[in-house]
Amino acid sequence: MWQELRTELYPRLEIVTVALEARGSSAARPWIEKANPAHPALIDGAHVLAALGVINVPTGIWVDEAGTIVRPPETAYPRQPAFKDRVVPAEATPLQREAIELTRRLNVDADRYVAALRDWVERGVASRYVLSPDEVVRRSRPRPLAEATAAAHFALAQHLHGAGEAALATKHFKEAQRLHPTSWTYRRDAWAIAGPDHPAIYGTTWLDDVKREGVENYYPRLEL
């Protein structure tokens, strides 16, 4: 997904992709091998990046040559995703129609995001998209005790899942979701592990949650 942009901008810009996958490399491997990226492609089973404020995907973080974050986590698409132009098939069920129509309304502004990225690569610190360290910290998410505790539960759940302790893992996945209810990564990764039975296990679905929380909040509008 990012290889084309990397080819264009490297070596002025490196891209590092991080797969948030509690199932580990087995879940990400087919995608990475198909993309065959020249850039580092890493696996984050315990969602360590949540500690930086990552709560949904795809999310981008800009880091300058000195290791300073110049833009905190924000929605990052390299191009317009196919779901934005998806047509409802004639044979779609009402539920399928609703899901397709909802995903078309998600806030995605790939053109503006990539233009800003190119501007930063070209102009460096003079780019108007570079934020001061104080602004980066100000824009990063608050981290109350509940959300920090959710991260510990998710790490436990991922470890337990890997050890074959499915019931205990589910208990901690649920606790992570309860303590950090706005994290889509905690929900969706656990749902992926549960498979088609996830509505029965977790009591909700992506469609239900997006409707309840507001489609406009799934991807906050870019503040470029």
Residues 55-94 touching other proteins, rule: CB under 8 A, are 57-70, 72-73, 76
Interface residue with other proteins, options 100, 110, 152, 215 (CB under 8 A): 152
Give me the helix-helix angle, 145-162 and 166-179, nearest 10°.
Answer: 160
25 versus 107: smaller Cβ distance to other proteins? 25
88 versus 192: smaller Cβ distance to other proteins? 192
Restricting to residues 4-33, name those near other proteins by CB under 8 A: 11-21, 25, 27-33
Phi then psi dihedrals of residue 126, to 5 deg: -80, -10
Number of residues that bind other proteins (CB under 8 A): 86
Restricting to residues 99-128, name those near other proteins by CB under 8 A: 117, 120-121, 124
Task: Please tell me whether residue 147 binds other proteins under the rule CB under 8 A.
Answer: yes
Element (H, E) at 157: helix 145-162
Question: Could you tell me if 72 and 63 are in contact, meaning their C-beta atoms sit under 8 angstroms apart?
Answer: no
Return the structure tokens found at 56: 């949904």
Interface residue with other proteins, options 85, 91, 142, 196 (CB under 8 A): 142
d(CA 4, CA 158): 32
Task: Please tell me whether residue 1 binds other proteins under the rule CB under 8 A.
Answer: yes
90 versus 153: smaller Cβ distance to other proteins? 153
Interface residue with other proteins, options 104, 109, 149, 174 (CB under 8 A): 149
Token look-up 């509505």 returns 199
**DSSP track, 80-136:** --GGGGPPPPTT--HHHHHHHHHHHTS---HHHHHHHHHHHHHHGGGSTTPPPHHHH
d(CA 58, CA 91): 30
**Closest approach of other proteins to the CB of residue 182, in Å:** 13
100 versus 121: smaller Cβ distance to other proteins? 121
DSSP letter assigned to residue 44: E
What CA–CA distances, in Å, run from 183 to 8, 47, 55, 187? Answer: 33, 11, 5, 7
Interface residue with other proteins, options 170, 189, 210, 218 (CB under 8 A): 189
**Closest approach of other proteins to the CB of residue 46, in Å:** 8
